[in-house]
Structure 1
Amino acid sequence: MRGITLTLNFDTPEEAISFLKLITSRIKYSGLYGEIKGKKLKLFIPESQRTEEVVNEVKTLYRELHGAKNAFQKKRFKIQTVLSLAKLETAIPVPVLVDIIKLQGKHARLAGETIETSLELNELVKLAEQVSSAYHSAIHMPLTSSARRLLVVASLTLGKNPEETVSLLLSRNLLREEDGTLSLSMDYERSLEKLRELVKQST
Structure 2
Amino acid sequence: MMLSPQLHKILAVAFFLLSFCAQVKPQGFLSKFPFKPLFGGESDEQQVPDLLPPAGTENGVIRQLQYRISRLEGVLRLNEMITESGGKIFSSNGKRADFDGIVEKCKEAGGSIATPRNPGENDAILYFVKHFNTYTYLGIKQSLIPGKFQPLKGAQLSYTNWYSNEPSGRGEEECVEMYTDGTWNDKKCSKNHLIVCQF
| TM-score when normalising by structure 1 | 0.28
Q: Which has the higher contact order (CA 8 A, sep 6+)?
A: 2
Larger radius of gyration: 1
- Relative to its length, the structure with more helix (as a share) is 1
| TM-score when normalising by structure 2 | 0.28
